[in-house]
Amino acid sequence: MIIVSACLVGRPCRYDGRRAPNLDLITRLAGLRWVAVCPEQLGGLPTPRVPALLKGGNGRDVLAGRARVVNEEGRDVTEAFIRGAEVVLDLAVRLGAEVCYLKDRSPSCGLNPSLGPGERFQGPGVCAALLADAGLKLEEIKSPSAD
């Protein structure tokens, strides 16, 4: 079983509500057992939603309470990001997943998410950190331009 960022298979769950399927990944998944997830939606955030960034550290720092996730309007959305990551991990464990294909640059799924101006933290997004710490194998997949 494979966990896949839903946006990578064409679900319109990106922050801007647009689709951005990775056709190479979709081809790779043919004939395999997989489930698509969006941690941000599972955490209760709407689509579309205001873009958010990690502030004060990476996803591991967020999980440890040393950093936050804040959207561009200044609203703290940390709890939603953590809740969504926990739902994804619970699903991965229940389904016996061993591998996760996650979207690049995401504050949830990215292995090296985009950060705001002046931010120089290295490391995973919130969901990626939780999954990696649980022992799942992660592969970051580039998302093409949205349509």
Instruction: State the average pLDDT for the chain.
Output: 93
Q: Where are the domains of the chain?
A: 2-141
Residue that the structure tokens 């561009």 belong to: 72
Among the listed residues 39, 50, 20, 52, the one whose alpha carbon sits nearest the alpha carbon of residue 131? 39
What pLDDT is stored for residue 116 in this prediction? 67
Segment 35-41 shows an average pLDDT of 98
* 63-97 per-position pLDDT tens digit: 999 999 999 999 999 999 999 999 999 999 999 99
Segment 38-54 shows an average pLDDT of 97
Structure tokens at 119: 């931010």
* 107-143 per-position pLDDT tens digit: 999 998 876 666 656 789 999 999 999 999 999 998 8
> For residues 36 and 9, is the Cβ–Cβ distance under 8 A?
yes
What residues contact 88, with CB distance under 8 A and at least 6 apart? 3, 37, 39, 42, 127, 130, 131
